[in-house]
Amino acid sequence: MAKMSPARQTIINVAEQLLEDAGTAYTTTGAVSDEILSALKFVFKAPLLPALVIVDHREVTTITCPSGRKMYQVVGSSGTPYICLPSSYYCSCPSYRYSVLLRDEHLMCKHVIAMKLAVGMGVSKQQEVTDQEMTTLLKSLE
């Protein structure tokens, strides 16, 4: 994998901090300030609004299994469920491959932004699966 430039790493660090701030604000006050939303919009651009809609519709599910593995299922605007991995910015959606990896237009796709916001805000649904079901889900990733 290519080494990330210092500038890109700085932007990702800022983005992670803003996502954390949004989660903290929501869990303590029940709302995210306009200041944080503006900063998120500046960093994430076009994918932010659809991500907020996904969070508002409670379309993020945390999937866990007895062995401790965790992944997220995020239902997109088309109704298609995508898998996001918590330790990276990976998503199984076409936008991740095209806009994030290939064209480098966005830091994250809307599903990953929604996942990070929903988890930070404590509004993710929970689903427990068996280790075998988790393995099957992981094998299905492209």
Percent of the chain with pLDDT over 70: 97
The whole-number pLDDT of residue 2 equals 56
What's the pTM? 0.93
Average pLDDT over residues 84-103: 90
pLDDT tens for each residue of 16-44? 999 999 999 999 999 999 999 999 999 99
Radius of gyration in angstroms for the set of CA atoms belonging to the chain, rounded to a whole number: 15
Long-range contacts (CB closer than 8 Å, 24 or more residues apart) made by 98-103 = 99/47
Indicate the domain borders of the chain: 6-139
